[in-house]
Amino acid sequence: MEYKNQKVVIIDYGMGNIGSIDNMLKYLGVKAIISSEPNIISDADKIILPGVGHFDRAMTNIENLGLMDVLKEMALVKKKPFLGICLGMQIMCESSEEGSLPGLSFINAEVKKFDFGTDSKLKVPHMGWNKIHVNKASDILEGLDDDSRFYFVHSYFVKCQNEIDILTKTTYGFDFVSSFQVDNLIGAQFHPEKSHRFGVTLFKNFLEKY
* 93 a catalytic residue: no
Cβ atoms of 189 and 157 closer than 8 Å = yes
State the catalytic residue, choosing from 93, 126, 154, 191.
191
Cβ atoms of 206 and 46 closer than 8 Å = yes
What DSSP assignment string belongs to 105-160?
Answer: --SSEEEEE----TT-S--SSEEEEEE-EE-S--GGGTT--TT-EEEEEESEEEEE
> φ, ψ for residue 100 (rounded to 5)?
-115, -15
Cis peptide bond prior to 38, omega within 30° of 0: no
Beta bridge partners of 149: 131
* 86 a catalytic residue: yes
Nearest-angstrom CA–CA distance, 74 and 42: 7
State the catalytic residue, choosing from 93, 98, 110, 193.
193
> φ, ψ for residue 111 (rounded to 5)?
-110, 125
State the catalytic residue, choosing from 54, 63, 86, 93.
86
* 133 a catalytic residue: no
**Catalytically annotated residues:** 86, 191, 193
